[in-house]
Structures are given as structure tokens and as C-alpha cells.
Chains A and B, each alone.
Chain A
């Protein structure tokens, strides 16, 4: 794919000192903690936003907060950019390095430090995967709620960097709502603690500021998160509607009724067809839109809630209602939805957008999304978290055709602008990274952006931390 998004020009003085820098880093880290052979740097050249790649100068793989601090202190002293990296699953290029940067990879900081069920907290190192937290606390009857679809691979450090969401945030919130404390290494190597097992840290909410800061305010090495009692049971119901409008109106009514389902997932006709062809989940093919609504609780509670939800769906002319009697049936309902990205990837290349819109705008935005993509001569499938308005249109294209690839990127940008204009935002859970960086001016005024950048500079005056990301490259304060 041709590159339309620019990176900062590598600092020539840093590139010129490459050998010295690597030698110095070798003094700070054990041999297995430093990667610098070009061949071995390749796995770090990109993340899940694979159309852009850059080989970093070196990769540090620390195993302690002290090692992270030593590397940061060194880089800060010599003006070397730093790119933090969790598992490299970012969909917006948040972990893509640059030629003059040292990547600090957190994969070896992978210990679970403490599980405290009395206080319902888990304290883990930043490289622990999202799912590993839930797995570790599961025997005690607990789970960690935010569940991005990459949860098998993605790290809690990366989740904090991007303030990750997931399918269940309608009820449980996103990372920032489940994060109690962090150990944070500042750009100059200073180690600070924010929050802890208590609620609402003293002073300004720096923890809230750090969460979602895309690795620009420091590097989190440890996190204390809230764990919750696992619900007794969970049960989905599947609805088929003639049109997206009817499905959208049903979503609004369910939420307005006073029930908070744990998830409401939406699929449009192209998405239903793609998923059904792949997963054979028994989805109805004669409908224009499909909803999966899941509730949690005891059997009696779920019966009561589902009865209300089905009644609401009937008021909106639902064509298909599939309730499930067994765990197998429930799993089948979810199987199609969960295979959406994989199934789509089998039939075409795609880019996944992440704009969020107010619920009342869903039908309009869906319609316009279809028109925009059709205008570029491409196809789109919509699979998303309807309960919170977080859209995920998948724009299908052929990556080997540069013209089509450019069209897909252009259509994606149009859709994100549409989301902003409808009262929403560019990104609900993936982050800005490099992907949406140049669209930030569409959402924010110059003064808004200048204020964010001033706060950012309070943490990192030299703009060394993940510098090519989030904020447009032009108009930055002089370093």
C-alpha cells in the first residue's frame, strides 16, 4: 500500500550514534533484553496496522521497572525517541516504531504480582495479557471485565495505553473505569505510583489522564485493576429485523426501558452473510439486520430480563427471535459474531473503522456509510457494539491493488468525519495512533489540540515518547 501518513523525520544525530547507543543500552540490559540485529528487529517493525512499517533503532525487553527506568533515563538524556510496545496488536499503528526510536517492549514483564479477592483487585506487570488476568482470578470466581477482541494476545499495558473497551463495556465500562492504580515510569526515568487499592487517588486524576494516552506520558510497568464476581450465568438472544432502522430503534428502546444488557451486538446484511458462510451459526439470511442481546444473572433474572427484551423487539416488528435453551446454542449465537473479522479476512482484505456515534444517529450513519463506500466502488460490512454506538464498518478491498487500497483509506476517512459530524468521535476503543492522527483537526479546534499538547508537554517536554502519534505533526510546539 502506498503511504499517505507521514512519520516524523528521523533525528539524524540519533541515527549517526546508532552504534554508541546500542553499546550503551547493552550496559543497561542483559544480553537477552536487547535486540538490535536488523534481522531480529523485523518482528517489531509494525503492529496490527500492517500497512505501515519502520525498523526501530533497537528494542529493549526489560524484566523490571528498574530496567525500564534505566533505559528511559538514558534515552531522555540523549534525546532518543522511545516507542512503548505491549503485544503489538494495535489497530491504529500505536506501536509502530520509527528509525530513530528505541522500542521498549513489555512482553517479559509478565508476572501476576498479587490477587486480592477481599479487595477485589489484581496487581499485575504491564506485559500480562488481558485474558491471563481473568484466567488467574477465575478459580476464585472473579473476572476482569474489559474484553477487547484481541484479549488473548493484548497486554494490560497496551490496554491502558489505548483505554481499550470490548463487547461488554455497556455494563462494565472500559479500561479507565476498571483501573485503580499504576506504577509509571516518567520519561526521565522517575518512577511514580498513581492510585492503589483505594478509590479515587489524591490530587488531580493523573491516572485518568495516563489511561488512553497512547504511551506518550510515560511507561506503565505495573497495574492494579478491579476484578468482579463472575455472573452466575449469561444468555444471549438473537433478533432478525427487516431493516437496520428497526434494529436501531429496538436498541434505543431496550436501553430506554431500564434494562442494561451486558452486550448488544449489531450486524448488517453483508456481515450476516459473511459470518454465516464461515461459521454456520444458523443466522437468518432473509433479514436486513441482526442483533445479539446478552443478559447476565441467575436463571430467574435472565428469564425476567429476556422476556422484557423480547417484548420490546416484537413492538419493533422483529422477524426472527432465537432464544437459547443450552450453552451450546448460546455459543453458536456468539460463534458467528466472534468470527466476523476472521470470516471477512477470508473473502477480502479490509480496514476496520472505530468511530462512535450517539445512538440516535445510528440509522443515519449506517445509511451514509453504505453510500460513502459505494461511492468509492467498494463494499462494506458492519459489525459493532450497538449499545454504546461504537461502529466498526469493515471496508473490503484488495490490498494488492494500490488504487483500491487508496480508495479504502479515503472512504475510511470520510466515514470517520461522518461520525464526528454526527456528534460522535474518531475512535471509540482502538486509539488514534498514526491512523487517525491527521483527522484530529476535524474533531478538535486548534485551541483544544493546543491544550492537550500542552498537558502532554508537562510530562514530556522534548516530545520523545511515541512522538509520531496522536497529534498532527505540524503545529507542534518547538522541542
Chain B
């Protein structure tokens, strides 16, 4: 690939983007390159990296708010938070293992991809934690949106728009986000031996109880052995995470076990084992297999997940596990990605979207890695894009 631009400040980045706009050149925005396999393979005249714009700008634990430059390594952020007993509530997925990438994820990349993990179900996505941003638009103008307070309805919410825009609308230079206290303790209640449909029912029941289950996943027998070194109990594992003050967690865990234990074997793991399991779920451990076999990330209504899977199994070789109460399906295709088939089935069961997270470059070129949008939304999307990047400077990964 072409030149790599590494500005050291927002002003320099703005100059580079202005120059590209004037020269009719395109730029591919990148953070730590750990999520680089997303979407269409990018063709651009140069790469614009955020690595030089790094460092925590402000952090007051009592306010539960941090401001950091976009190129700050995620590790540095998490370390600072850990020191004050806090964390990112949305639990960002680390894409390195599943996508076979290297390098250090950046906080800008986390928000640009709206990278959320299992706790997204209860604590919201990355975009829900993002309070304010600075970015450079395609005209080379530095723009500020949002702020550093939780409640802010002043003007249009460009913060949400830029979150998850995959570096196609602007170059993030600074992000301000809400953080949460780390829970004092955690426990995961495991219900064993349920099929996908029964597991979906159990997860829905648990989420409907006033027990503040923070994450709910179902790991079918085909993937069970890939978690915790094979130490999960016999049979498919339906796992429910409880976090908080120890007095509260133990009360809630007991209630859950009593309720769910009537129909299936129930056990529990605590603290480090529990946290480790959820990291593995978040980071898609079962499909970390050093292959290019297609992996889809499917988001549907929780009750539709197992139905989509059952219908697909009639026609394609797939392996799956479920997060988000059954609504997030991680799906590995044993052969071709079968994009059209998958998307037809999703539409049939109430709609949602499928993103091709991993596949060979040839496959990502041949099919739409991101869910194609219906016509009127696609037209609107294009107009929104032009309002931020009128000269088409930022490489188009999405469509």
C-alpha cells in the first residue's frame, strides 16, 4: 500500500485531510489496525493513522468520565481505569484473535467501530457510553460534538452518528466517554443441557426477572469445549452473568439457581473464572482457529436467533453460538459465506443485520460485508455521508 500518514495533532491531521481533498486523493483511516479486516478491502491513496495523537487528556473517577485522544492504546485506558476501580461498561470486543490481526487496539477504533461485547445487552453499546468527540471532517475542519456530561441534548447528536461509522465520516481525534465502577464481585450461573430453543426461553425468563442479569449467552455443545479449557459442565451451557456488591450477587445467584434448577442441572462459577469465560465469549474464542472460514456476526431479535439458525441448517453447514440473550449469533460457515441466503432468512424472521466479520479478501470483495440498506435509507445515508465528506476523501468500507 501507499503512504502512511501519522499526524501528531489534530491540526496536522486537518491539514493532511484538506490537502487530500484538494488533491483529489483518498485516505483510509486507521487506529491500531486490529479491526482492519472489516468490510470491503480498502483501496486508498494513503493511510491516515491516529497513533500519533495519543494520551489520556482528563480523567476524574468521581465523575465517571474520561477524555482521551483517539490514538491512545486501549490497554493504557483500561490500566488507568483499573487503578481507580472502574471500567468500560460496554465491554469492547478484542478482534485480534478472531481476525488474526496484530497490534494495539486504540480507543478511537473502539468507538469508530462501536465495538461492544456481552454486556451490551444490559449496559448499552460503545455509542451509549460516548459523550463527546472531536473529529476532522472531509473538508479538513476540526469539529466538536457532544461534551463531557451525561445528559446533553444541545443540537444534533453527531456523536452517535460518528460512533460506528467505521472511519467513513470523519477522523476522530478525541473521545470523551462515561465509565462505570468495576463490580465488587461476579458470578455466572450455568444451566446445562438445553437445546437452542429452550436456552432462548431460559435467557428471556432470566432477563425478565428483577435480578439484573448483565449478560446472557448460550454455548451449544459443539463449542462448549472451547471455553475455560473444556471445564464447563457436560452439555450445552446457557450462561447468565451477575455482577455487583457481593451481598447482592449471592442473593440474586441463589434466586436464579433455585428458579432455573427445577428443570435442568445448574451450577455456578465465580470471579476470575467467570470473567475469563465472558472474555472468551466476547472475543469469539470458538472460531479463533487461524483460518479464513467465514464468520458472520448476526443481530436479530433475541427470540429469532435460534429460528434463523434452524432454518439455515437446512441449507448450509454452520456452527454457532449465541450472546445477547440469543439475539447476537456468531456463525461460522463451513464453506462459502452464503450471504444472500443468510440475509433472506434474517428478513423472514423479523429482520436484523449480518456483518461478515472474517473472510478472505476475495470473498469480502465479492459480497457485501455489511448489511445492504433498503433504497430510501441508502439514499439518505449517501446524503449524510456527503454532508460530512463532500469530496469523498475517506475510503468507503461500508458500501
- A-to-B contact residues, CB < 8 Å: 116-121, 140-142, 162-163, 165, 169-170, 173-174, 176-177, 186, 190, 192, 194, 196-209, 211-213, 229-232, 252-253, 255-260, 297-298, 300-301, 304-305, 356-360, 385, 388-390, 423-432, 436, 440, 443-445, 447-449, 451-452, 454-459, 470-471
Is A169 a contact of B151 with CB atoms below 8 Å?
yes
One digit per residue, 1 when the CB lies within 8 angstroms of any chain A CB and 0 when it does not, for chain B 358-397 equals 0000000000001101101100110111111000000000
Please indicate the chain A residues that have their CB under 8 angstroms from the CB of B385 in the complex. Answer: 204
Contacts of A427 in B (CB 8 A): 152-154
Give 3 closest A-B pairs by Cβ, nearest first. A208-B160, A258-B181, A428-B151
CB of B158 within 8 A of CB of A452, answer: yes
B163 touches A205 (CB 8 A): yes
Give the contacts of B127-162 with A (CB-CB under 8 A).
127-128, 137, 141-145, 147-161
Give the chain B neighbours of A204 by CB distance below 8 A. Answer: 161, 164-165, 169, 381, 384-385
| Given A205-B164, A232-B210: 10 more A-B contacts, CB < 8 Å | A120-B208, A203-B370, A204-B161, A212-B153, A229-B211, A231-B210, A256-B61, A300-B247, A301-B244, A447-B142
Residue picked from B145, B150, B212, B398, most chain A C-beta under 10 Å: B150
Q: Are B153 and A200 in contact (CB under 8 A)?
A: no
What residues on B are CB-neighbors of A440 within 8 Å?
Answer: 154-155
Selecting from B47-55, B229-237, B299-307, the interface stretch reads B299-307
Q: Which residue of B lies closest to A301 (CB)?
A: B248
Q: What are the residues of chain A within 8 A of B286 when measuring CB–CB?
A: none
What 0/1 readout, one digit per residue, does chain B (166-198) give for beta carbons within 8 Å of chain A? Answer: 000100000000001111100000000000000
Which of A198, A426, A443, A444 is within 8 Å of B301, CB to CB? A198
0/1 interface trace, chain B 286-299, chain A, CB 8 Å (1 if under): 00000000000001
Given A197-B301, A451-B137: A458 touches B380 (CB 8 Å cut-off): yes
Complex alpha-carbon distance, A165 and B150, angstroms:
10
Chain A neighbourhood of B374, CB < 8 A: 192
Contact B154 A436 (CB under 8 A): yes
From A169, A207, A300, A470, contact of B150 by CB (8 A): A169
Bound together, the chains give a CA A420 to CA B244 distance in angstroms of 34
Kindly identify which residue among B152, B184, B208 contacts A141, using a CB–CB cutoff of 8 Å: B208
A–B Cβ pairs within 8 angstroms, 8 of them: A192-B374, A197-B350, A198-B301, A200-B114, A201-B353, A203-B381, A204-B385, A388-B149
B contact residues around A429 at 8 Å (CB): 151, 153
| A444 and B387 contacting across the interface, CB-CB below 8 Å | no
The complex places the Cα of A456 from the Cα of B156 at a distance, in Å, of 8
Asked if B380 and A430 make an inter-chain contact with CB atoms under 8 angstroms apart, the answer reads no
Whether, in the assembled complex, B340 has its beta carbon less than 8 Å from a beta carbon of chain A, the answer is no
Selected contact of B251 from candidates A200, A300, A359, CB within 8 Å: A300
Inside 8 A of A454's CB, which chain B residues have their CB? 387-388
> Contact at B153–A173, with CB atoms within 8 Å?
no
Cα-based distance from A162 to B120 in the complex (angstroms): 24
Q: Once bound together, how far apart are the Cα atoms of A118 and B201, in whole Å?
A: 8
Whether, in the assembled complex, B204 has its beta carbon less than 8 Å from a beta carbon of chain A, the answer is: yes
A405 to B339, CA, bound (A): 63
In whole Å, how far is B388's beta carbon from the nearest beta carbon of chain A? 7
Given A141-B208, A163-B157, A389 contacting B149 (CB threshold 8 A): yes
Q: Which residues of A contact B370 (CB under 8 A)?
A: 202-203
Counting chain B CB atoms within 10 Å of each CB, the highest count among A165, A208, A230, A252 belongs to A208
Chain B residues with Cβ below 8 Å from A176 are: 128, 157, 160
Among B17-25, B62-70, B277-285, the one that faces the other chain is: B62-70
The chain A residue with its CB closest to the CB of B382 is A458
CA distance A265 to B58 in the complex (A): 26
B143 adjacent to A448 (CB under 8 Å): yes
Complex-state Cα separation, A222 to B155, whole angstroms: 23
Asked whether B144 lies within 8 Å of A426 as measured between CB atoms, the reply is no
Which residues does chain B contribute within 8 Å of A140, judged by CB atoms? 208
Question: When the two chains form the complex, which single residue of A192, A229, A258, A388 contacts B151, counting CB atoms closer than 8 Å?
Answer: A388
A198 to B383, CA, bound (A): 25
Given A229-B210, A258-B181, A451-B388; A444-B144 close (CB under 8 Å):
yes
Judging by beta carbons under 8 Å apart, are B386 and A458 in contact?
A: yes
Say yes or no for B324: interface residue by CB 8 A criterion.
Answer: yes
Q: Are B377 and A200 in contact (CB under 8 A)?
A: no
Q: How far is the CA of A121 from the CA of B157 in the complex (A)?
A: 24
- Asked if B34 CB lies within 8 Å of chain A CBs, one says no
Given contacts A118-B303, A452-B158, contact A301 B245 (CB under 8 A): yes
Task: Judge whether A119 and B381 touch: CB under 8 Å.
Answer: no
Known contacts A209-B160, A451-B158; A259/B376 CB under 8 A = no
A186-B380 contact in complex given A177-B128, A208-B161, A360-B62, C-beta closer than 8 Å: yes
Asked whether, in the complex, the Cβ of B251 is within 8 Å of the Cβ of A258, the reply is no
Complex contacts, B331 vs chain A, CB 8 Å? none
Instruction: List B contacts of A447 (CB < 8 A).
Output: 141-143
| Contact between chains at A196 and B380 (CB < 8 Å) | no
Q: Which residue of the partner chain, among A118, A198, A425, A457, contacts B147 with CB atoms under 8 Å?
A: A425
Query: Which residue on chain A has the smallest CB distance to residue B160?
Result: A208
Known A-B contacts A165-B151, A186-B376, A199-B125; A211 and B157 likewise in contact (beta carbons under 8 Å): yes
B152 touches A117 (CB 8 A): no
Known contacts A429-B151, A445-B144: does B127 contact A205 (CB below 8 Å)? yes
Q: Is B124 an interface residue (CB 8 A)?
A: yes
Say whether B328 faces chain A, with CB atoms less than 8 Å apart: yes
Residues of B within 8 Å of A118, CB to CB, are 201, 204, 208, 302-303
Q: Are B145 and A448 within 8 A (Cβ)?
A: yes
Nearest CB in chain B to that of A252: its residue: B62
Which residues on B sit within 8 Å (CB–CB) of A389?
A: 149-151
When C-beta atoms are compared, the residue in chain A nearest to B255 turns out to be A298
Q: Which residues of B contact A432 (CB under 8 A)?
A: 153-155
Is residue B83 within 8 Å, beta carbon to beta carbon, of the partner chain?
no
Give the Cβ gap from B171 to chain A, nearest Cβ, in Å. Answer: 13
Residues of B within 8 A of A297 (CB): 210, 212, 248
How many whole Å from A275's CB to the nearest CB in chain B? 23
Interface pair B155/A444, CB less than 8 Å apart: yes
Q: Is B56 an interface residue (CB 8 A)?
A: no
Cβ-defined contact, B153 with A199, below 8 A: no
B103 close to A (CB within 8 Å): no
Report B-chain residues with C-beta under 8 Å of the C-beta of A252. 62-63
Most buried by B among A200, A230, A445, A452: A200
Residues of A within 8 A of B380 (CB): 186, 192, 206, 458-459
Contacts of A459 in B (CB 8 A): 380, 383-384
A207 to B128, CA, bound (A): 12
| Docked pose: A444 CA to B17 CA in angstroms | 22
Task: Tell me the smallest distance from the CB of A413 to a CB of chain B, in Å.
Answer: 14
Contact with A along B222-257 (1 / 0, CB 8 A): 000000000000000000000011011001100000
Give the CA-CA distance A199 to B184 in the complex, in Å.
28
In the complex, chain A residues whose CB is within 8 Å of the CB of B302: 118-119, 197
Q: Which of B181, B211, B381 contacts A257 (CB 8 A)?
A: B181
Please report the C-alpha to C-alpha distance between residue A429 and residue B152 in the assembled complex, in whole angstroms: 7
B248 touches A457 (CB 8 A): no
Answer whether residue B207 sits at the interface, using C-beta atoms and an 8 A cutoff: yes
B351 sits at the interface (CB 8 A) = yes
Task: Give the contacting residue for B373; candidates A177, A202, A357; CB below 8 A.
Answer: A202
**CB-defined contacts of B26 to chain A, threshold 8 Å:** none
Nearest residue, chain A, Cβ from B390: A454
- Closest residue of chain A to B373 (Cβ to Cβ) is A203
Rounded to whole Å, the gap between the CB of A231 and the closest CB of chain B is: 5
Q: Are A258 and B386 in contact (CB under 8 A)?
A: no
What chain B residues lie within 8 Å of A388 (beta carbons)?
149-151
Give the residue among B145, B155, B300 with the most A Cβ atoms within 10 A: B155
